[in-house]
Homo-oligomer: A and B are copies of this chain.
Amino acid sequence: MKDFFPEVTKIQYEGAQSKNPLAFRYYNPEEVVGDKTMEEHLRFSMAYWHTMTGGGQDMFGVNTAIRPWGDVKDPMEVARMRAYAAFEFMEKMQIPYFCFHDIDLAPEGETLQETFRNIDEIVAIIKDLMAQTGKKLLWGTANLFGHPRFMHGAATSPNADVFAYSAARVKRALEITKELGGENYVFWGGREGYETLLNTDMKLELDNLARFLHMAVEYAQEIGFKGQFLIEPKPKEPTKHQYDFDTQSVLAFLKAYDLDKYFKVNIEANHATLAGHTFQHELRYARINGILGSVDANQGDELLGWDTDQFPTNVYVTTMAMYEILLNGGLAPGGLNFDAKPRRGSHEPIDLFYSHIAGMDAFARGLKVAHRLLESGELENFIAERYQSWTTGIGKKIVDGEVGFKELSEYALQNKPIVLSSGRQEMLENIINRYLFE
């Protein structure tokens, strides 16, 4: 195959002083940070849909992106070109993983059979390329939101035939994910929600969603797929309300339907902010509930109300994300998948490189800052001190379950006036700045 990105050679680490826009200033895959290399910590992944399939279309305009297959008419030929280009891109970018939806790989056919045949042809190419390059599949999934048949939902469609069709697609996507050694399988329910409650049987839809996921679990067991199942929360868009609104909602659902031992969450930064949470909040909440599985690494614009899927460049955010991820003991088998697209006006192929470099360096720097922060223990020591009353005296008794309202009431009635220590938010924010900029 030809060289699809001849204007770019392999992106190299050149250090913080480099002014080369086609070099890493922070991402140095082999560099050890704490107990692992940066590559092992960060587990970067390319999102096939944005980087290979996307083209810049928005609600008010068509695709703008210039791509090597721009003049090719045959959709299967485009699909083949994208497969080779994907691996060239990953190699040049030093990205070890990728993720895809089934129909990112190849066009849908007239029939489900034809769709599967199209995908199978490309999967074979990809399998070869994986073997040649050592690139790996972070996760696979099925796109159950783009086609008109999903307009009212997939597993939550009012039409049972859509549920059946979706099952067939996920079954196949699971098989492919297994075949390619995928380490996770993701469910993002883009149409699993509602447009209006006036026409919606929410109870039946949620029951059906749970039935669908239980079937997925059972089928994975049957075929021996060992990857982690992940649900990706998003509050809204495209639907008015999506059932997997945020991590909290997903946890409520998983527990209500006895699915919590099979699923973790794939947290997307931009989805977190659309739900009214910081990215760190979602990571923290997932982490302490034991369900932090993987991350869609992007950023939104908090002044905009839709999913902008921007490349992550805010190092405050990547630092606190890596802080949570380090405290989680890493993300593996999950990773940092760049579910991000260059702005519509960044329409040249080279913008794909600039964008990923910006994102990878932002996370690499975030990793290093977070690591130093944790090494120092400044935050942890502050917190330990702040909560020390829970390790002795009445606090310990509460934690140990030795007291109830009556004992506590007696204690409180006799207690001296309570003196609180300051939360010191501004001092702590300044400490973060110290680590960021030192």
Contacts and interface: CB of A to CB of B under 8 A. Distances in A.
A394 B162 CA distance: 11
Give the oligomeric copy count. 4
Nearest to A411: B164
Which DSSP category, helix, strand, loop or mixed, fits chain A's interface? helix
A164 to B, nearest CB: 4
A67 B317 CA distance: 35
Contacts of A64: 148, 151
Contact of A276 (B21, B170, B276, B359): B276
Interface in A401-435: 401, 404-406, 408-409, 411-413, 415, 418, 420-434
19 contacts: A21-B430, A61-B150, A62-B148, A151-B423, A168-B405, A170-B405, A199-B379, A202-B284, A202-B288, A207-B399, A218-B405, A236-B304, A240-B301, A252-B252, A313-B429, A345-B423, A346-B425, A346-B426, A365-B433
A275 interface: yes
Nearest to A416: B161
B398 A163 contact: yes
Contacts of A132: none
Contacts of A162: 418, 420
Contacts of A409: 164, 167-168, 171-172
Contacts of A394: 160-161, 164
Contact of A219 (B62, B148, B404): B404
A146 interface: yes
A262 to B, nearest CB: 15
Interface stretch (A39-47, A83-91, A381-389): A381-389
Given A21-B431, A151-B344, A365-B437, 11 more contacts: A59-B306, A64-B151, A163-B408, A168-B409, A171-B406, A197-B281, A208-B399, A211-B399, A219-B405, A252-B252, A354-B426
